[in-house]
Structure 1
Amino acid sequence: MEFSNLHQMLRALYDEMLSLAADMAGVARGLAGLGALFYVALKVWQALSRAEPIDLFPMLRPFALGLCIMFFPTMVLGTINAVLSPIVTGTHGILEGQVLDLNELQQQKDLLEREALLRNPETAYLVSDEEFDRQLEELGWSPSDLATISGMYLERGMYQLKQDIRNAFRELLEILFQAAALVVDIIRTFFLIVLSILGPVAFALSVWDGFQSTLSQWFTRYISVYLWLPVSDLFSSMLAKIQSLILARDIEQLSDPAFIPDTSDAVYIIFMIIGIIGYFTIPTVTGWIIQAGGAGNYTRNVNQATRKAGNIAGAATGATTGNIGGKLMNQ
């Protein structure tokens, strides 16, 4: 199953779980009704004890919250999702455009890189079987040429081994990159489901005097978690744009017939590592858009995981760069 299908499955899971919010409305109505009784009685008693006229406007708050609880899936969740969904659609469209350009540039770069290696007689036999066979035929099988032929076989084998290692490492980083995005999306979906199902209870608790801040905290947390996906798409778009600029520069250099390409892809590997680490900063960045509390422990755990991932990725990059550098020096 592709990662895009997993993201779509999470969207479908969220839509199916929204129906459970209506089941909690019955419990929330009883809790809100009891809270409204105490709330109205307290306001009336305070006004009578001070010989002041009774202000009816503050007493409308419990009834407004009661209406929100009765029609919570459609009135509250439907309105918030309808307002925020254009942001998700817009950022996802930006991401799709950048990824499409990136794929086209990558294919163009691979083609030009192969052509550049074929233009050079010293490297053409590494990527072309026909050129390899042609050079063997020119050398012949005389005893004086056996050392050269053995060296060609060895260099071709080392080149293919290095390419296989590079491609395997790239695939591993791409899987980790997609996995990091999936982890953020899974946690986001879980938080949204919990906030949606227990939302009527939060509205009911906000009726009680002294718990009014529960309502504002629920809104800020829900909106903050909902914006994780747009911020994630913007981050992916930024990385795709940077990679597109790097590929465009490489394509410009490969257009020069005298240019010798570098097949190490060190810059690509570095940006993939940066992307893996950067995905775990999305909750922090979203908290800058709208202030939300209650995620302190999660943020601390994410920061610790980010530091550990950075250390591991730095060690892996150093080891890989050292191995590639050693092989190039030996060649």
Structure 2
Amino acid sequence: MRELIDRSIFDLFDGLFLNIQDLAGSFLADAQAVAAIAMLLYFAVEAYKMMVGDEQLRYMALFRPFALALVIIFWSGFVDVLNFPLTVVRDSAKGMYSEQIDQVDDMHLERVALIDSVAIKLSDSSADFEQVQAETRDKDWMEKMGIDLEPMFNKMKGYYLMLMAKMHFTMMRVVEYIVILIYQVCIYIIFFLQIIFAGILVILGPFAFALSILPGFRDSYLTWMGRYIAVGLYSTIAYIVMSISFVLVKYGLMKEIEILRAVLENEEMFLAYVSYPSGNISFYIVSLLIGGLAMLPIPVISTWIISTSGIGNAIGSMAGGAGKAMRKLSR
């Protein structure tokens, strides 16, 4: 049986996201070299300004390159610090998801069992049809013997309708399989994009901090931090969206389970369910499509929560306050 969602794959995605910094080692030495060159250029320019009297001695301006260099040196620890609040928020959202998925899985299993019962009933009806079809092969000699074939033909027409219903039922099961596949792809692709984006940011992030030493790229590290936090929220938002969409999915499952139970108990409803297209187009399929499509805007939604300018203003205020304190102490 195909699961609605593979839970173990989320643990794999979470583990990959939290251990991406292990891949940054190959570029870390290059970033440290760039940082060293940028520091030499920065100190040369600042020293010249102070020597000619254009600017006074500014402690924070001199400490800033050292702080950025320390971040590059202890890059893995810095990424772990950023991941800590992201992990806390993600675990809370994952708890909401876990409560919902247990109920959805139970209802999904019950629905699959009922559909299997419908399929078995259709198979039995098809077997009866094949038996009637074999009986009609001797039609010519039976007519010559004066045997009335009308009852048998009427019976065969009924089984023919049942066989067509089986074909239609099978087609709808294929459509349902495709919808579930689309739903899973929409979910898994968000987590995979999070790993890809976070991997690129972590591997090349030290260069952003190294270039931030130079005045022309002063805010590069702030942009990097904003984007990394936004990417880190993909999984949190995904769990929240899934938890909300599961409300629709549970409603669709509940309604379809009621219909399947009634179909198995009533022969006329059974024939109508498997014969007419409207009998298989359920809110369950619609809810899966809605839930899958709702996952796709998550990369955009994450930028609504964390903006680079907000981080820049916050860190700028902290740096300004520290600079004022240092100037007071120097006096």
Same fold (TM over 0.5): yes
1:227 corresponds to which residue?
233
Instruction: Return the alpha-carbon distance in structure 1 between the equivalents of residues 16 and 113 of structure 2.
Output: 42
Structure 1, gaps ≥5 residues long:
118-123, 294-331
CA spacing shift, 1:72–1:99, aligned 2, 3 Å: same
The corresponding residue for 2:99 is 97
Alignment of 1:271 onto 2:287: yes
Structure 2's unaligned 5+ residue stretches are: 137-147, 274-278, 310-331
Change (3 A) 1:20 1:252: closer
- Give the TM-score normalised by the residue count of structure 2: 0.71
How much has 1:20 moved relative to structure 2? 3.1
The offset of 1:147, in angstroms, is: 3.1
Percent identical pairs in the alignment equals 23
How many pairs does the alignment contain? 281
Larger Rg: 2
Q: Secondary structure at the match of 2:59?
A: coil
Counterpart Cα distance in 1 of 2:298 and 2:220: 24
Indicate conservation of the 8 Å contact 1:18/1:196, yes or no.
Answer: yes
Question: Where do residues 281-296 of structure 1 align in structure 2 (5 Å cutoff)?
Answer: 281-291=297-307
Letter in 1 for 2:48: W
Inter-partner Cα distance in structure 1 for 2:37 and 2:163: 79
Q: How far is 1:292 from its partner?
A: 5.3
Give me the whole-angstrom Cα distance separating, in 1, the residues matched to 2:18 and 2:111. 41
Task: Return the match for 2:88 from 75, 80, 86.
Answer: 86
TM-score, normalised to structure 1's length? Answer: 0.71
Counterpart of 1:67? 70
Q: Tell me, what secondary structure is at the counterpart of 2:76?
A: helix
The answer on 1:21 being equivalent to 2:27 is: no
Q: For residue 317 of structure 1, what is the aligned residue in structure 2?
A: none
| Counterpart AA for 2:215 | D
Confirm or deny that 1:215 pairs with 2:209: no
Change in 2 beyond 3 A, CA 1:247/1:20: closer
Partner AA of 2:84 in structure 1: A
Rounded Cα–Cα distance in structure 2 between residues aligned with 1:245 and 1:273: 14
Structure 1 residues 20, 264: CA separation in 2 closer, same or farther (over 3 Å shift)?
closer
Inter-partner Cα distance in structure 2 for 1:190 and 1:277 = 21
- Tell me, in whole angstroms, the C-alpha distance in 2 between the residues paired with 1:98 and 1:265: 24
Q: Is the CA contact (8 Å cut-off) linking 1:205 and 1:214 kept in structure 2?
A: yes
Give the drift of 1:62: 0.8
CA displacement 1:134-176 (0-9 Å, x = unmatched)? xx9xxxx973422331123112212221221111111112112
